[in-house]
Structure 1
């Protein structure tokens, strides 16, 4: 499938949303975000040609594809990009959908063409199709040693410290309190490890979720928090926090920890996604914005230390 444009294909929003819905509903038992099953540590998807990490909803689309087919490299590229690398996509392989945006200048409705402010910038989505490194011949996967578990935890601890978020240890429940702008976390001893996730990974995976909530205030990323469990804004914020935490954990090489209320609000979110094919794009974009904000604090901390 050499063609890269999605012009002749179904709406790219519907295509990617349907793929994510199918992956959530395909889990036996309670609904769960597919990249958080069984203590998995998904690799952050990266373009094999440019070396750039994918962002936002593209991460989710490629994670779903990788989990569905067992791809472990995290490397993807378009048909043309693989060809430029000297590789050949094998005949019969299916591509994964991603989306990119371009900004266009458009005349405002009813505006005077002579008015210098008569145009506005709009974002246009365009779908592309990419293949994993496991689907091509003629490409040698780069060898890489897995990071040491102790180094991963140290990196996670340093990442949180660089944000200067106030984290209070104690109690039985993890939460972010907007009234005091604090994150409350149970002691590490209250967390349990599994075959795929250590006790400390469970702690930092949960802390990553609360750290994304911490970015919500007006002075940071300006997201509206829901007033009560079950309302649309609450569920949307929880999905943003879970998604942002998954992005963070993938970056740090630790397994994400599903929130205790995960199944209940994911069930609600499924209904939202089925009614609005752009909802998951918005949530993923806000999750990416939160992670980008937190990443910016890392750079600021390094500058202060220099």
Structure 2
């Protein structure tokens, strides 16, 4: 029987959700977890692959750095005998004949998988492959994170702090969050701010994200999942604990959709990554804060 990779991946995510575990909710600043990446190229993984790594915490890897069997050999090391790698997924464009026009072809995205190994599963690797860049110190739970604040300002979003509960108002295109001091700690504040920023990216003048055509009446719940994942991606990048996320009200709805549609989690993870990328790209291209204040 031909394997259905969509179903295999979805079943992994659903099993965790049904067990009451949200794979994207982690204590980044205390566990040292962050975005997984290729240990040779230092290129971060994205979308569904991030969730699959976060869901593999029971394997006890000390670093989120991976490489293929071949890359380990090329780097001067090797994968230890008997080690089992982690599956990653990517889309390969398959060119096929267009049934509506025999003289034309079209590209169909085909899901493919490959295996990577954590650096902890290898021997003989150079130190720079194993450790990469020096890890930033954990965020102070009681103080504002300067880089995260600069990131929010550079996004260009109209974020009004101290103006009510965390909320994005699409009709007026602004975000409200309670005052920083009203949160239990700094990571909780930034997780809420990033969540609303993710919603903000969906405005028609930005990513124009409308999930109703894809998910119908479940669009609202799936938009919440997009925002949750995007916020988790950003918290991980800034080394912030997002373990205070609380989306229990949507859990049953998410499970229902994912069970009914094995491609839903891929769509949502892709949309969440696009939202995080949009915010990062916008912040990177913004004028320096000194010039903005001039």
TM-score interval for Structure 1 and Structure 2 normalised by the shorter chain: 0.7 to 0.9
Compared with structure 1, are the counterparts of its residues 57 and 207 closer, same or farther at alpha carbon in structure 2 (3 Å cutoff)?
A: same
- Which of 73, 88, 95 aligns to 1:83? It is 73
Say if 2:195 is the partner of 1:209. Answer: yes
3-state DSSP of counterpart to 2:229 = helix
Contact 2:162 2:178 (8 Å CA) reproduced: yes
1:45 and 2:36 aligned: yes
1:263 is aligned to: 248
Offset of 1:266 from its aligned partner? 1.9
Deviation string, structure 1 residues 233-271 (Cα, Å, up to 9, x no partner): 0110011000000111111111125544x0121221112
Q: 1:156 matched to which residue of 2?
A: 148
What TM-score do the two structures reach when normalised by structure 1?
A: 0.83
Q: Deviations over 1:209-252 (max 9, x none)?
A: 000000111211111267xxx94101100110000001111111
Within the candidate set 218, 225, 235, 1:232 is matched to 218
> Residue 284 of structure 1 aligns with which residue?
269
> How many positions carry a matched residue from both structures?
280
Q: 1:23 to 1:32 in 2, by over 3 A?
A: closer
Deviations 1:277-299 (A, max 9, x none): 21111000000111111112122
Cα distance in 1, alignment partners of residues 236 and 26 from structure 2: 14
Partner of 1:35: 24
Q: Is there any run of 5+ residues in structure 2 with no aligned partner, and where?
A: none
How far does the alpha carbon of each residue in 1:18-37 deviate from its partner, in whole angstroms, 9 at most, with x for none? 222223333xxxx3412314
The 5-angstrom pairing of residues 90-129 of structure 1 reads: 90-113=80-103, 118-129=104-115
Conserved 8 A contact 1:213-1:241:
yes
- Matched residue SS, 1:34: coil
1:61 is the counterpart of 2:52:
yes
* Residue segments in structure 1 that go unaligned for 5+ positions in a row: 1-7, 193-198
**Structure-2 change in CA distance of 1:171 and 1:202 (3 Å):** same
What is aligned with 1:5?
none
Q: In 2, Cα distance between the equivalents of 1:38 and 1:52?
A: 22
Q: Call closer, same or farther: CA 1:97–1:108 in 2, change over 3 Å.
A: same
For residue 72 of structure 1, what is the aligned residue in structure 2?
A: 62
3-state DSSP of counterpart to 1:98: strand
2:38, 2:67 within 8 Å by CA — same for their partners in 1? yes
Distance 2:233 2:50 in 1: 8
C-alpha deviation, 1:186, in angstroms: 0.6
Please say if residues 24 and 33 of structure 1, whose CA atoms lie closer than 8 Å, have aligned partners that are also in contact: yes
Would you say the 8 A contact 2:25–2:245 is kept in 1? no
Give distance in 2, aligned partners of 1:210 and 1:75.
29
C-alpha distance in structure 2 between counterparts of 1:248 and 1:152, whole Å? 16
Q: Following the alignment from structure 2 to structure 1, what is the Cα–Cα distance between the partners of residues 192 and 163?
A: 14
1:165-222 CA-to-partner distances (Å, cap 9, x unmatched) read 0011234421101011010101112111xxxxxx111101110000000011121111
Distance between the aligned counterparts of 1:92 and 1:129, measured in 2? Answer: 14
- TM-score, normalised via structure 2 length: 0.86
Aligned equivalents of 2:221, 2:283: Cα separation in 1: 28
My pick for the range that moved more, 119-128 or 42-51, is 119-128
Which of 182-191 and 94-103 deviates more? 94-103
2:235 is aligned to 249
Q: Counterpart in 1 of 2:182? A: 190
Is the 8 Å Cα contact of residues 32 and 263 (structure 1) preserved in structure 2? no
